[in-house]
Every structure is written in C-alpha cells, then in structure tokens.
Amino acid sequence: MGSQTISSPFPVIDLNDENMKADTEAWVAACRVARTAMEEHGCFVVKFDKVTESLCKSLVSAMEELFGLPMETKSQKTSDKLFHGYLGQVSWIPLYESLGIDDPLSMSACQKFANIMWPQQPNNRFCETVNEYAKLVGEIDHIAKRMVFESYGVDMERCKYMIESSEYLLRCQEYRPPKKDEIEMGLQPHTDLTIISVVHQLNNLNGLEIKASDGVWRGVDASPSSFVVMAGDAFKVWSNGRIRPCEHRVTMSHDVKTVRYSMGLFSFSANTLEIPPQLVDQEHPLRYKKTFHHHDYLRFFEESKIKDLDTRMQAYCGI
Ligand SMILES: O=C(O)CCC(=O)C(=O)O
Ligand SMILES: [Fe+2]
C-alpha cells in the first residue's frame, strides 16, 4: 500500500472510568461520543482493562498453537456462511490467514471448534482462554450497542432484543511479515458485513488503518487494552442510513519482522433487522425495506459481488 497514512486517534471511550455508570453525566457524554463517532468515522476506540495482559499472553500462545497446525487440519473448519470458515493461501492476500470460531461466548461451541482442530484429545486450555476472552469482548459489544441506542433515544427493550438475537463469530487472524518483493497489503480496504465488529490488535503490532471522515487513512495504535468498535453494513441499515460503516484495511510494513495476530468479535442478527421508528422522520425518510436477513445478505454479497457499499445496500434492500 503506497499511500501515506497519518496517525491520529479516533474518539476514545474509557470503559474503566469509575464514573461510567448508566445515567451519570459521564455515561450520557460517552453515549453521544459513541454515536457521533459512528456517524462520522464508523468507529471509536474503547479502553477496557478487564482483558488483562496475562489473558492476552495466553491468547497469543493459543493463536500460535492454532495457526501452527497443518493447513490440512485448519481447512477442516468449513462453513456455509461466508467468512466463517478457514481462509488462507489466497493469492491476492498472501500474508493473511484466518479461522472463525462460531458462537464463542458458549464454552461448548469453543469445544466443538477445538475438537475439529485437535481431534485426538480435548484442548481445554485453548477453549478456556478463547471463551474467557470472547465473553469479555462480548461485554464491549453490548456496551457499544447500548450507548448508540441510548444516544438515539431508542428504547432499551429493542437493544436487549438485538443483543439477545445476535449471533457471534470470533475471527482469529494471522498475518505474516511481507518478503522483500511482496506488497505490504495484509487485507484490502473493506467494510464488515456485521452489525458491529470489535477488533483487537492482539500482539501489539500496528497494521489496522481506518479511512476517517476526511477520506484520509489513519493508523490505530495497538495496545493490549485498546479495542476498536466498528460499524458494519447492517448497522447502517438499522440506523436508517445515519451510521457510516467503517472502511478499513491492514498494512504490514516491511519493517515488521514478526507475525501479527488480531482478533475480531463479529455480531450478526439472527432475526430480520428492524429500523426503530425513532430513526425515521421527515428529515430521514425510511431508506430500507424490512427485508434485511443477515445470512441472506452474506449470500447476496457473495453472489452479487457488488463492491460499492451504497450500490450493494440499495440493490439488497433499498427503497
Ligand atoms: O486485522 C485487523 O486488524 C482487521 C481484520 C479485519 O478487518 C477483518 O477481519 O474484517
Ligand atoms: Fe474487517
């Protein structure tokens, strides 16, 4: 990736702040920051110390063990849902490899995944580490949704319903450093197909870049306690077009000599998405039909191959 990136922080919300409790001034202010950041950039950063450095270390070891498995084993993780299985050895993104763990907030689902990777004997340590991590990152997902709902004045019953009917996927990603004659692109520019994605640059290596509202690509600094909350395509539909899905990419600089790991907790809606009535008014007439089925949208994405986001949304469910 030749283009220059300028490092500049996106809004940061400190979830460790003692005052960050529902209905406090700090909470209301943070909800506003979360919503406006989603509308402007499609993302914000949260600080969240509950994921400790020691848990990160255990997870890095778990990822080394996972990606160190033979390709034949990793490719056993298949899925009929787009991007939920093994992805690797792709000619146009040679540095990238990923594996998706379905329903990682449930221990038995983590075990199901581990049994595919280690069929000979249960890998309890892997399951415990991944499950503990996913449950904590799930808290970030829930808080982020609550903040956005609250700032729009959408009732919490709807938020509860969205959270309860969300399906989660933990995507584990490994990027190897580029060879001298290889391009630095780790992952091409894209928006996620999710409601929201919570992305963590796990082993402290930068690489994630986000196109800010001014059109400039900006890096996001990695730290064990920093998570990037990104809006996906479905959040744009839910918000009746107000939220801007986050356009991002990964660049692996030639200066980097080690493998980079990142984790993404992706949420999808198991039910048809409903645009809340509070988000439809004269200024914002209804933009999408009540026909957004998430898995159907993934299939549509795969089959239609429409790259441009607005064209895709319009073709899928636009009015
Ligand atoms: O590796 C990263 O930081 C981001 C990964 C990503 O964008 C994705 O999995 O959709
Ligand atoms: Fe992404």
Q: Specify the residue with its C-alpha closest to ligand 1, atom 3.
A: 208
Using CB atoms within 10 A of its CB, is residue 96 exposed (0-12), middle (13-18) or buried (19+)?
A: buried
Strand ranges of the sheet holding 217-219, from the earlier edge strand across to the other edge: 185-190, 248-251, 208-211, 217-219
Structural domain includes residue 121? yes
Q: Is residue 40 part of a domain?
A: no
pLDDT tens readout for residues 75-104: 999 999 999 999 999 999 999 999 999 999
pLDDT value at residue 8: 58
Q: What domain count does the chain have?
A: 1
Whether residue 35 lies inside any domain: the answer is no
Give first-to-last CA distance, the chain, whole Å: 36
- Residue 41 in any domain: the answer is no
**9 band by pLDDT with thresholds 50, 70 and 90:** low
Interval 46-72 mean pLDDT:
97
| pLDDT score recorded for residue 6 | 52
Residue nearest to atom 10 of ligand 1 (CA): 192
Residue 271 above 60 pLDDT? yes
pLDDT at 2 over 50: no
In total, the chain counts a number of residues equal to 319
Q: Please report the ipTM that was assigned to this predicted complex.
A: 0.99
Pocket of ligand 1 (CB under 6 A): 171, 173, 187, 192, 199, 201, 207-208, 248, 250, 262, 264
Could you tell me the residue range of the domain that residue 227 belongs to?
52-317
> Which pLDDT tens digit goes with each residue over 137-158?
999 999 999 999 999 999 999 9
The CATH number for 234's domain is 2.60.120.330
6 inside domain: no
Residue 44, phi then psi, degrees to nearest 5: -150, 170
User: Got the DSSP string for 134-178?
Assistant: HHHHHHHHHHHHHHHHHHHT--HHHHHHHHHTEEEEEEEEEEPPP
Q: Which of 1, 99, 187 to mutate to test the pocket of ligand 1 (most atoms within 8 A of CB)?
A: 187
Those residues with Cβ within 8 angstroms of residue 53's Cβ, 6 or more apart along the chain or in another chain: 224
Q: Is residue 10 part of a domain?
A: no
- The residues placing their C-beta within 5 Å of ligand 2, an ion, are 192
In a domain, 206, yes or no: yes
Q: Is residue 194 part of a domain?
A: yes
**For residues 247-252, average pLDDT:** 98
